[in-house]
Structure 1
Amino acid sequence: MKLPRFRHLAVAMGIVLAAAGMGTAQAASAPDPVKPRTTGAIEHTGAVPGGFASWKDLLLFQQKLVKAADRVTAISGQYANGYAGIIAAPENRELRVYWKGKAPRAVNDLVSQLRREVAVSVLPAQYSARELEREASRLIHANKDTLTSIAPLQDGSGLTAGTTVLGAARTAITGASVPVTLEYGAKPELATRWDDSPPWWGGGAWRNASTGGGCSTGFAVTYGGAQKILSAGHCGAVGNATTDPTGQAIGSITQDNNSRDVLLIGTSAGGRVFNNPTNANGNAIVSTEFSNPVIGTSSSAVGLWVCTSGAYSGTNCNIRVTAVNVSINVGYIINGTVQAEQQAHTNAVGQGDSGGSVEVVNPSNTSQVYAAGVNTAIDTSTSVACTGYVLTGRICAWRTYYSPWSNATTAFPGIAIIPG
Structure 2
Amino acid sequence: MALIAALTVPAAAGTTAVGQPETNRTEQSPAEIRTARAEVRTPRAEVRAARQAAVDRAAGAATALAEVPGYTGVAVDYEAAKVTVSWKGTAPPAVNALAERVPDGVVVETRRTALSAADLHAASTRLLDSQRAATAPLTVLTVLPAEDYAGLVVEISGGPAAPGADALDQRLERVAGVPVQLQRIHNVVESTAGSRRDDRAPWHAGGAIAAPDGTDYCTTGFSIVTGAGDHRIVTAAHCNKQVGDQVLDGVGQPLGTITHRAPEVDAQLIDPVGEPETAGAVLGGPWNATPAHERYRFPVATVQRPAVGQHICSSGAVTGEHCSTIRATEIAWTCGKETCHGFRASRDDADVVVGGGDSGGPMYTVIDGKAHARGMIDGGSNRRSCGETSVSTQCFSYVYGIPMVDILNYWDARIDS
Could you tell me the TM-score, scaled by structure 2's length? 0.49
Q: RCO greater where, 1 or 2, for CA within 8 Å and sep 6 or more?
A: 1
> Whose radius of gyration is greater, 1 or 2?
2
